[in-house]
Each structure stands twice: as structure tokens, then as C-alpha cells.
Amino acid sequence: MLKDYLRLHFIVLLWGFTAILGKLISVPPVELVFWRTLLAAAGLALLLTLRKQAWRIPGADAARLLGVGALVAAHWITFFLAARLSSVSVCLAGMATLALWTSLLEPLLLWRRIRAYEVFLGLLTMVGLYLVSQAELGQLLGLSVAIVSAGLSALFSVLNSRLVKQHPPLRLTFYEMLGACLSIVLFMPLYARYFTDGAGLQLTWHGYDWLWLLLLAGVCTVYAFSSSVELMKRLSAFVVNLTVNLEPVYGIILAVILFWLHVPGFASERLSGGFYLGTLVILFSVLIHPVLDQWMKRRQRRAEAAEAVV
């Protein structure tokens, strides 16, 4: 069990490292996500083949998965764009609003009742965001893009919560990565014409881009996903959710370490005390959410058991 816990934390550490890889790779965000999804889809296809899992699914299901994949592409593009427009730490502070977005979208899309404690935590997150934005006015655009990216990620998670019950996770993710890659291919002509200032597509790798992209697609996507699915079979959902919420914590710590080591490109990680205060408020609301959720579920089970006895 200890080995499983340590492995889960390592996976979350890898996910926290993705923003740093996005900063290290010279390829622009759209082209970066194209390469990430292409390489990840190829890696997942290889895993499906080695494990002798079926590929084919009904056409309507395939269309839904490919459509959700397009949403993943939009999330990743805005995520890496936010890391370029601001510092990695500010980007991850914005991404920490994922729990807030999920608490807003789940009642709308899944017809779930609004929970009072989630409203409170959402208001607490807004206070943290205010502190971060006031402390880092120069990085407000990057923070805003990161918040939008968190919203797209929450929408993907809510939609995926239904689909994951209908398809094996590995096959589901393969189709979503394929959909993400295809959606970028369809978007590229419009992107090259109107969003590149005449520079056109920049698909060529430079320097160590090949290494960072292979780490991003192979280790942070294919390996991390397949391993997390395996661990979810043995660890409780509460433990997994609580640990995954540590992703921005690990990412910010890694970014600060790179700043202390004077790694080129990470000078922007010198941030004010107000940023860290606001980030602590956001992270507190994120980390306490699964604890409160677990407590409320136990309370509900006790109430139901008491009613059954009566």
C-alpha cells in the first residue's frame, strides 16, 4: 500500500511538471499540443495492441469521444498559453480553480443538488484569486487564461465522468487523444492564417524540444494515465482525489526550485508575498474539499442507517 501511495504522488508530481515542460519547449502552444496528442495517441495505440484490447466502438460513441477530445485540446492549448503569458506558479494558481468550476458545472450538467459547503469553498477560492490578481497585476492576462483553462478541464471532467462508465479507460483515452489531435489538424489552416502574425506553423523542434516532448507525451501522459488507472483499482477515490489536488502545490514548488537554480526562462517565478497568500487560500479550499465531501457522505450514510433502524 505504501508503494501505491508513493507511486500516486509521483504521478501527481509528473502532472505538476507539465506546465514547466510547456515553458521549456520552444514550439508554440497549438503546435505543442498537436505533438503531445499525436505522440500520446500513438503510445496509447501501442498499449492497446500489446494488451490485446479491442479497438472498435459504435460510431455514435466514437463521435462523442472525439468531440470530448477536442475539448481536451482547447484545455491544453489555453493551459500552455497561460504558462507562456505568465509564470508557471501564476498559471497553476489559476488552474487550482478546477474544483470551483466543477462545483458549478456538475449541478448544471448532471442535475445534482448544489452543496452549501461547495458554495462556501467557491467564495473562499474567489478571495484567493483576488489576492493573487492584486499581487501580480502584470500577470493578470496569464491568470485569466489559466482560469478559463481550468473551466475547460472541469467541463471535460464532468462529461468524462459519464463516458468512463461506458468504455475501458485506455480505449476511451486513445479516442480522446485522437480527437484532440484531429481537431488541431482541422484548426491549423485557420490558425496559420489569422493567429501567427504571418509566421505560419512552427512544427519544427529545436534544441532539447524532442526530449521535453517525449517526456510530456510518453511519461506525463501515457505512463501517468495508465498507472493512475491501475492505482484507482486499489486506492479509494478519496485518497486519489486528495492527492491529485496537490498537483499545483508540486508544480509551484518545482518552479520555485528552478528559479533558485537560475534556470533560463524561470526568472518570472520571483513573486510577491501577496501571491503566495492568495495561493495558500486557494489551495486550502481545494485540499479541504474532498475532506468535507467525505465527511458529508459519511454523515448521510449514518442518517440513512438510523432511518432504516427506525
pLDDT in tens, 264-275: 878 877 788 888
Write down the pLDDT at residue 309: 66
Write down the pLDDT at residue 202: 92
Write down the pLDDT at residue 26: 92
Buried b (16+ CB within 10 A) or exposed e, 72-82: bbbbbbbbbbb
Which residue matches cell numbers 507562456? Answer: 84
115: its cell numbers: 452543496
Which residue matches cell numbers 514550439? Answer: 27
Pair 20, 254: CB distance under 8 Å:
yes
What's the pLDDT tens digit per position in 169-203? 788 889 999 999 999 999 999 999 888 888 889 99
Pair 258, 303: CB distance under 8 Å:
no
218: its cell numbers: 510518453
Residue 26's contacts (CB-CB under 8 Å, 6 or more residues apart) are 205, 206, 207, 209
Rounded CA separation 175/241 (Å) = 24
Classify residue 139 by its DSSP letter.
G
Write down the pLDDT at residue 74: 96
Helix (H) or strand (E) holding 232: helix 224-232
* Residue 206, φ and ψ in degrees, nearest 5: -130, 145
Q: Which residues in the chain land under pLDDT 50?
A: none
Encoded amino acid at 92, one letter:
L
Sequence-ordered alpha helix ranges (H) in 51-194: 59-85, 88-95, 98-110, 116-135, 140-163, 169-194
Rounded CA separation 208/211 (Å) = 5
Q: Between vectors from CA 88 to CA 84 and to CA 89, what angle results, nearest 5°?
A: 145
